[in-house]
């Protein structure tokens, strides 16, 4: 007898497998996701150490200052000692950025720019072609991109089933945006410790408000400018006469060499006296080579369309340059942006034909900022990117990974002393 396998049957099987995915975690000593990650911002940020950044930050100085944006994390830390592939030590995770929050599926205008393509960000072909970001932005480690991508689709299908009437196909298909940086120096990256439920947790835990930094989410095991790196964020608010718009940036920083690091123009990497972290760190290369990658997500509530958001992305490169980044051959420096303005601009794409809330016209009417009004947004992106990277460094803590390898955090006391030496008021 011939069995016909329908799409519905395939989805049912996939969801059943996903629901039982937690059982697979017994294969290795992976810690449970930490639901408190988002709610616990770092005790110290770069401004607390006297770094004199330019521009006016929002209330949280985070990407979540853009109204509607939510961020969630799953952080996986477990095991110590020698590397045993498939068991650990584990130092990795998942980061989720949701442009309109987890309960709003309305697409947003999006942009993309690859400064150096030695990395991965899925879903960008349709982002470039269609101009819309149709779901969350996810960031993880290099070898977990696939599982996170598939889990996003499963989450969307499940989320739709929970919220929509039967038969409404809000997510008939999906091309999730998932980016990565490599944490093989601190993490059993070939042990594949990120599972579907870790992605679900990051999405479900997403919230507005303060955002954790450093050793959290996809940034858990990352190395940045020779020190412990990871996740960082910052924002800028324009004055009313420039529109009053907000720009927020989130980075997963795993790039650069120590000698390149500059903070507020000070060559901090060369002046700090702490012992350098050992070479290797997952890369068979000279520690002074710029390798490792950085993912930058830029959000704004300014009414920009996709071509303008491409331009905004490019300015993130200048923020990276301010801290000393050179986008070396081995660094995957990949940036994306989105605007939360223009709700329902792609409304016809999120309702089934004939649905109750389907748009009455195939023509969308949108707002668009004039190109010659974009300069303040460019500057805000540069400033917020610079600060987000330094916040990632300041928020990170010293970490011990496989085989006892230690990745030192940027010393707060030395950074503060260098800032005071450079910027303290001269005595009378």
For Cα atoms 306, 128, 65, give the angle at the middle one, nearest 5 degrees. 45
Residue showing tokens 């996003």? 152
Q: How do 177-181 and 137-141 pair as beta strands?
A: parallel
Catalytic residues: 293, 331, 333
d(CA 17, CA 232): 34
18: nearest Cα among 163, 203, 202, 151 = 151
Name the percent of the chain in helix, strand, coil, to the closest 5.
Answer: 35, 20, 45
112: nearest Cα among 310, 351, 384, 387 = 310
How far CA 137 is from CA of 133, 279, 395, 401, in Å, comes to 9, 32, 22, 27
> Do 61 and 411 form a contact (C-beta atoms < 8 A)?
no
Q: DSSP readout, 286-324?
A: -TTS-BS-EEEEEEE-S---HHHHHHHHHHHHHHHHHTT
> Do 278 and 331 form a contact (C-beta atoms < 8 A)?
no
- Where do runs of H (alpha helix) occur along 131-212? 145-163, 196-204
d(CA 54, CA 367): 29
> Do 184 and 192 form a contact (C-beta atoms < 8 A)?
no
d(CA 327, CA 320): 9
């Amino acid at each position: 007898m011939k069995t016909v396998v329908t799409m519905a049957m395939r989805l049912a099987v996939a969801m059943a497998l996903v629901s039982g995915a937690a059982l697979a975690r017994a294969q290795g000593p992976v810690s449970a996701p930490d639901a408190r990650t988002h709610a616990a911002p770092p005790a110290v940020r770069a401004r607390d150490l006297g770094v004199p950044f330019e521009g006016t930050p929002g209330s949280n100085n985070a990407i979540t200052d853009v109204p509607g944006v939510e961020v969630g994390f799953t952080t996986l830390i477990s095991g110590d000692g020698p590397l045993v592939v498939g068991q650990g030590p584990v130092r990795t995770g998942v980061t989720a950025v949701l442009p309109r929050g987890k309960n709003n599926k309305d697409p947003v205008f999006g942009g993309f720019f690859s400064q150096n393509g030695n990395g991965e960000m899925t879903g960008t072909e349709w982002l470039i072609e269609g101009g819309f970001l149709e779901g969350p932005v996810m960031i993880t480690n290099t070898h977990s991109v696939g599982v996170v991508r598939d889990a996003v689709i499963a989450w969307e299908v499940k989320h739709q089933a929970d919220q929509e009437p039967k038969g409404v196909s809000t997510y008939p298909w999906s091309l999730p945006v998932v980016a990565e940086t490599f944490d093989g120096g601190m993490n059993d990256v070939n042990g594949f410790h990120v599972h579907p439920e870790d992605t679900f947790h990051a999405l479900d835990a997403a919230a507005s408000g303060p955002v954790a930094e450093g050793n959290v989410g996809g940034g858990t095991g990352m190395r940045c400018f020779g020190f412990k790196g990871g996740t960082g964020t910052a924002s800028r608010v324009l004055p009313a006469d420039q529109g009053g718009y907000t720009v927020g940036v989130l980075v997963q920083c795993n790039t650069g060499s120590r000698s390149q690091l500059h903070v507020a123009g000070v060559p901090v990497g060369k002046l700090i006296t702490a012992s350098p972290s050992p070479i290797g760190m997952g890369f068979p290369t000279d520690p002074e080579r710029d390798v490792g990658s950085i993912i930058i997500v830029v959000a704004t509530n300014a009414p920009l369309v996709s071509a303008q958001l491409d331009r905004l992305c490019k300015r993130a490169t200048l923020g990276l340059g301010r801290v000393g980044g050179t986008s070396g051959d081995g660094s995957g420096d990949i940036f994306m942006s989105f605007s939360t303005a223009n709700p329902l601009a792609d409304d016809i794409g999120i309702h089934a034909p004939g649905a109750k809330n389907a748009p009455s016209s195939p023509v969308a009417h949108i707002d668009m900022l004039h190109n010659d009004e974009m300069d303040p947004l460019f500057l805000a992106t540069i400033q917020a990117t610079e600060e987000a990277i330094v916040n990632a460094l300041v928020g990170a803590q010293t970490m011990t990974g496989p085989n006892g390898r230690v990745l030192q955090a940027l010393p707060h006391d030395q950074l503060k002393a260098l800032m005071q030496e450079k910027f303290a008021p001269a005595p009378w």
